[in-house]
Structure 1
Amino acid sequence: MIFILLIIVIAVGFYFFKSSYTYWDKRGVPGPKPKLFFGNFGQSFLFKKSPAEVYSDIYNDFPDASMVGVFRANSPTLIIRDPELIRDVAVKSFRNFQDNELIIDKKDDPLLGRHPFFIGGEEWRTTRVLLTPGFTSGKMKWIYPLLEDVSKHFIKFIEKRIESTKTETHNAKDLCVRFTLDNVTSCALGLEAKSFEEETNEFRYIADRFFTPEGWKNVVLYLVTIIPFLSKFVSVKFLSKEIEEKFTNIVVETLKYREANNIVRNDFLQMLHQMKKSSNDDSFTDLEITAHAAGFFGDSYETSSITMHFLLYELASNPEAQTKLREEIVKAFDENEKLPYEELQTMPYLDAVLNESLRLHPPLGSLNKMCTESYTYVPRDNDVIKKPVIIEAGTPVILPVYGLHRDPKYFDDPNSFKPERFIGTNKEKIVKYTYMPFGEGPRACLGQRFGILQIKMGIAYVIKNFEVSVNGRTKSPMKYNPIYFMTIPNDPLWLDFKKIV
């Protein structure tokens, strides 16, 4: 009887999966043939490629299609290829696709469950309006001297490390984490992380574990991205209880100290605290303050450190671009005692190298959205899809950022580092919605202004003071980590820093 029941279960499972794989065929949407149980993500199941890289491969395999139908396990998922359709999804028909796919329950993860990226519907809209004042140009100007101070300490740290260790070789990610961690603790919490003075401390401990669930939880989180229906049976939680408690204690104690000593500091935490005091809504609690401070902390140190260390690597790999950037930076410093905020904003080559690095290594290789209200796509004349397609509510919709950024149709010689793409008329020629490292539309990254500012500041100081080159310990060709949800290399990027006298 057990054997018979087992056969029946296998047969039913086989039929269930097999029948679901006709979903896109019935709608006239092209796509690769799925494999039983794995769908189109066998390489992700085997940890060979990240989902974003798989999306990119499929994107490249269907160059004439506006959209491609795929399956993650047996879940129908839609990859959007056409820039005009991406505009509809991200902006024009935003109400039909207003949520990101991954929603975290606040009961499972009280802090990141309140992050704008992981919430949806009206709650997202309210939170977005609430937090926007913290990222205005006025706020950026105010925190600019703080970033400048950290940048000076950053240069001294590299110089001292070279002198004490007698080596110019450094792990680029480690250096950039120290830099962004000191920035975010200063600008968000009004505290000193002391990343340049101490090899490890409480802030570094929190940072190293912030977006990295421990043990099997990391595997569960990864599996949810390639087997979506698992989210119905398992909870998604980034922050461990330990990290949650440590960060909460830091915020609570900081606010208590400020209240007791009548300290007012124009930073992100103070803005949140003031919102609570002036709010008539009892739902804006200390937990809300802590959650939004945690969101700022996580976004600003991790995404920025990843982006910055990729940019240093590209400049080290392309010495001509590095020299050209240094000339622009030295000129800016020579004309000013310090590097003014307005000057940093108007350095075209610095802006170009950052944009080009983001094109090659976007922080998120794909933007995973959810259809929240059914949408009908009417094919255009040159589309291989010949009849209208109804994208049903509840269908995951993928914007394949990595595939778009490296498409030779939009970027000539797409695998090469060419900052000139983003200068003058060349920048104006870039097809809209083919370059979106921070997303597009209302769901675009709220903290991108702060991230860009601190990266530009750090790069300006480093390139002014050091010649950077790739050390032989760096593995080539670079391969991305297949499990981490952001774009990071499998192996460290080792760079040499030679002091410019």
Structure 2
Amino acid sequence: MWLVLLVLVITLVLICIKRQYSYWERNGIPGPKPIPIAGNFYRSFVGKISAGEIITEIYNKYEGYPFVGIYRATSPVLLVRDPDFVKNIFVRDFKHFHDNDIEIDKEVDPIFGRNPFVMKGAEWKSKRAQLTTLFTSGKIKGMYQFLLRSSNRMVQYIEDETKSSDEFEAREICVRFALDNVAACAFGLEGKSFDEPYSQFRELADNFISPDGIRNKIIGLLFVLCPSFFKKMKFKLVPKDVEDKLMEIVKSSLKYRRDNNIVRNDFLDAVSSLQKEDGLFTNVDIVANAASFFGDGYETSSRVMAFLVFELAANPDIQDKLRNEINTVLENNDNSLNYEVIHNMKYLDACLSESLRKNSIVHNLNKICTEDYTYTPTNPDFKNITVKIKAGESVVVPLTGLQMDPKYFDEPQKFKPERFLGPISYNRSTYLPFGDGQRVCLGQRFAQTQIKVGTANIIKNFRLKVSSKTKLPLQLDPYFIMRHAIGGLWVHFEKIQ
């Protein structure tokens, strides 16, 4: 009796699993065969390669198909290959895909849950409208003095340290630089990242969203591959001690400014002014947005800058060309590296754009279908098949796949900044380092500005060469949600006399 019941239960479970994993096949959508429980991401679960690299492999395998059906654990997800479809998702048919596919309960994680990137629907739209005013050119120009000061301090630190060793891990330098910027612009404090081996901001950074530690790796994996389970289990991306410390820093900074009538015209001033304009903007909202600035300002920017520094070290001819531009522009502007000058360096901009193309910090952008949607390609390069996406289903836009596709970028493995000089010759929907449309990254202007001033000051003062300590070819951490090179990006810094 019990044996019969057990067999019956197992049979029903197997039937359910088989039906779940036949979803795309039943709808006429091609795709790789999944493995029970892990879907198409078994190698990511066991730590072989990252989920993003798996998606890039699938993207490359299905040449000619406008989309591919895959399974994230047991959930069906549509991988989009057609740039026209990508354009529809971000711009033309935005109302069908206005939410990012990230599940965070802001009652559980009040800091990350109030990040505009994860907010949804009307709440996102309202918050986005408020925060857009904080990232104008005028606001960033007002903070530029802090960025320039940090970059000068970085150069001095490298000079001092090269007396004992000229090898540096690129991201370590970039993290310190970005942390000092964030400390000054978001909190009005001295970051002291180049003065103290473990400043309070470095401690926060190391515990914010870190690739280190078993707990963080497991949470990062669940966040990427099982977002609904991640939310259901009430996991937090931002640890409680980091949340409490950020709250303490923001509150004490605001109190000090009020008590001493101090106005710095920085991000904290700007975001706190929203509270006066909107009674619904709470202290937690101020902390959450300062934390968003903290995370985006140091975490993503330091990674982008580190890969740019590494690419310049690996390509000495391009490095020399950039150095010539920097020196020429400075000579024509009284040797002043001011806001206008840094944004007038065309080749620097091209180098940054090319590094963002080749080294996408996140492999994919995931969206949720918010209204039923049907798509049939019109581009003859793709097979004429139709997909119907139901509200609540997920779609994946493979940034690395698109940006490394030789159909859109000639010799994609090569670092060629010239492709970003002159008129745009590529399909805009195949190059999306900051997203696109109404949900394009709010802080992209600030990020680009701090990366440019930091990189320009490094190249002006040092000649770079890749160190033998760098493990080539680069291997990426399979568990971390962003591009993270195992073993680091080690570079020689030679002072230019």
Cα contact 1:264–1:270 (8 A) shared by 2? yes
Corresponding position: 1:284 with 2:275: no
Counterpart for residue 451 of structure 2: 455
For residues 20 and 8 of structure 1, the distance between their equivalents in structure 2, rounded to whole angstroms, comes to 18
Counterpart for residue 32 of structure 2: 32
Counting only pairs closer than 5 Å after superposition, residues 398-417 of structure 1 correspond to structure 2 as 398-417=396-415
For residues 473 and 307 of structure 2, the distance between their equivalents in structure 1, rounded to whole angstroms, comes to 14
Measured against aligned partners, the alpha-carbon deviations of 1:267-308 in whole angstroms (never above 9, x if no partner) come to 1111121111232x3x21111111110001110001010001
Counterpart for residue 263 of structure 1: 262
- What displacement does 1:386 show? 4.1
Moved more, 380-389 or 445-454: 380-389
- What displacement does 1:479 show? 1.0
Counterpart for residue 168 of structure 2: 170
Moved more, 431-440 or 205-214: 205-214
Give the direction of change, closer, same or farther, for the CA distance of 1:139–1:228 in structure 2 (3 Å limit).
closer
Cα contact 1:212–1:238 (8 A) shared by 2? no
For residues 225 and 5 of structure 2, the distance between their equivalents in structure 1, rounded to whole angstroms, comes to 28
Corresponding position: 1:75 with 2:72: no
For residues 447 and 98 of structure 2, the distance between their equivalents in structure 1, rounded to whole angstroms, comes to 24
Cα contact 2:180–2:193 (8 A) shared by 1? yes
Measured against aligned partners, the alpha-carbon deviations of 1:153-208 in whole angstroms (never above 9, x if no partner) come to 11001101112xx2101111111000000011111111101011100021110011
Cα contact 1:67–1:80 (8 A) shared by 2? yes
Measured against aligned partners, the alpha-carbon deviations of 1:461-494 in whole angstroms (never above 9, x if no partner) come to 0000000111111100001111111111122111
Contiguous gaps of at least 5 residues in structure 2 = none
Corresponding position: 1:295 with 2:320: no
For residues 359 and 431 of structure 1, the distance between their equivalents in structure 2, rounded to whole angstroms, comes to 13
For residues 296 and 380 of structure 1, the distance between their equivalents in structure 2, rounded to whole angstroms, comes to 40
Measured against aligned partners, the alpha-carbon deviations of 1:109-142 in whole angstroms (never above 9, x if no partner) come to 0111100111111111111111111110111111
Cα contact 2:64–2:383 (8 A) shared by 1? no
Measured against aligned partners, the alpha-carbon deviations of 1:191-235 in whole angstroms (never above 9, x if no partner) come to 101011100021110011111386435403412422345246312
Counterpart for residue 314 of structure 2: 317
For residues 231 and 170 of structure 1, the distance between their equivalents in structure 2, rounded to whole angstroms, comes to 36
Corresponding position: 1:479 with 2:475: yes
Measured against aligned partners, the alpha-carbon deviations of 1:328-367 in whole angstroms (never above 9, x if no partner) come to 0111122223112122112111011111111111111100
Corresponding position: 1:139 with 2:136: no
Give the direction of change, closer, same or farther, for the CA distance of 1:432–1:353 in structure 2 (3 Å limit).
same
Corresponding position: 1:332 with 2:329: yes
Corresponding position: 1:274 with 2:245: no
Report percent identity of matched pairs: 45
Counterpart for residue 437 of structure 2: 441
Cα contact 1:30–1:385 (8 A) shared by 2? no
Give the aligned residue type for 1:313.
F
- What displacement does 1:389 show? 2.1
Moved more, 373-382 or 444-453: 373-382
Aligned CA RMSD, in angstroms, stands at 1.6
Counterpart for residue 227 of structure 1: 226
For residues 225 and 262 of structure 1, the distance between their equivalents in structure 2, rounded to whole angstroms, comes to 44
Cα contact 2:297–2:447 (8 A) shared by 1? yes
- What displacement does 1:459 show? 0.5
Counterpart for residue 202 of structure 1: 200
TM-score, normalising length: structure 1: 0.96
Measured against aligned partners, the alpha-carbon deviations of 1:36-70 in whole angstroms (never above 9, x if no partner) come to 33221121122112111111111101110111111
For residues 195 and 379 of structure 2, the distance between their equivalents in structure 1, rounded to whole angstroms, comes to 62
- What displacement does 1:9 show? 4.0
Counterpart for residue 351 of structure 1: 349
Give the aligned residue type for 2:281.
F
Give the direction of change, closer, same or farther, for the CA distance of 1:433–1:263 in structure 2 (3 Å limit).
same
Secondary structure, in 3 states, of the residue corresponding to 1:55? helix
For residues 490 and 384 of structure 2, the distance between their equivalents in structure 1, rounded to whole angstroms, comes to 50
Give the aligned residue type for 1:256.
K
For residues 173 and 157 of structure 2, the distance between their equivalents in structure 1, rounded to whole angstroms, comes to 9
- What displacement does 1:145 show? 1.6
For residues 231 and 406 of structure 2, the distance between their equivalents in structure 1, rounded to whole angstroms, comes to 39
Cα contact 2:186–2:266 (8 A) shared by 1? yes
Cα contact 1:75–1:228 (8 A) shared by 2? no
Give the aligned residue type for 1:308.
M
For residues 211 and 241 of structure 1, the distance between their equivalents in structure 2, rounded to whole angstroms, comes to 12
Counterpart for residue 237 of structure 1: 236
Cα contact 1:56–1:402 (8 A) shared by 2? yes
- What displacement does 1:383 show? 6.5
Give the aligned residue type for 1:128.
R
For residues 353 and 384 of structure 1, the distance between their equivalents in structure 2, rounded to whole angstroms, comes to 32
- What displacement does 1:29 show? 1.4
Give the aligned residue type for 1:405.
Q
For residues 13 and 216 of structure 2, the distance between their equivalents in structure 1, rounded to whole angstroms, comes to 26
For residues 228 and 273 of structure 2, the distance between their equivalents in structure 1, rounded to whole angstroms, comes to 41
Corresponding position: 1:466 with 2:462: yes
For residues 108 and 6 of structure 1, the distance between their equivalents in structure 2, rounded to whole angstroms, comes to 38
TM-score, normalising length: structure 2: 0.96
Counterpart for residue 253 of structure 2: 254
For residues 12 and 234 of structure 2, the distance between their equivalents in structure 1, rounded to whole angstroms, comes to 27
Cα contact 2:103–2:230 (8 A) shared by 1? no
Secondary structure, in 3 states, of the residue corresponding to 1:483? coil
For residues 488 and 413 of structure 1, the distance between their equivalents in structure 2, rounded to whole angstroms, comes to 23
Secondary structure, in 3 states, of the residue corresponding to 1:467? strand
Cα contact 2:408–2:426 (8 A) shared by 1? yes
Counterpart for residue 62 of structure 2: 62
Cα contact 1:221–1:236 (8 A) shared by 2? no
Moved more, 48-57 or 379-388: 379-388
For residues 3 and 433 of structure 1, the distance between their equivalents in structure 2, rounded to whole angstroms, comes to 56
Give the direction of change, closer, same or farther, for the CA distance of 1:386–1:151 in structure 2 (3 Å limit).
closer
Moved more, 211-220 or 430-439: 211-220
For residues 226 and 396 of structure 1, the distance between their equivalents in structure 2, rounded to whole angstroms, comes to 12
Moved more, 17-26 or 114-123: 17-26
- What displacement does 1:24 show? 1.2
For residues 260 and 5 of structure 1, the distance between their equivalents in structure 2, rounded to whole angstroms, comes to 72
- What displacement does 1:441 show? 0.9
Moved more, 251-260 or 373-382: 373-382
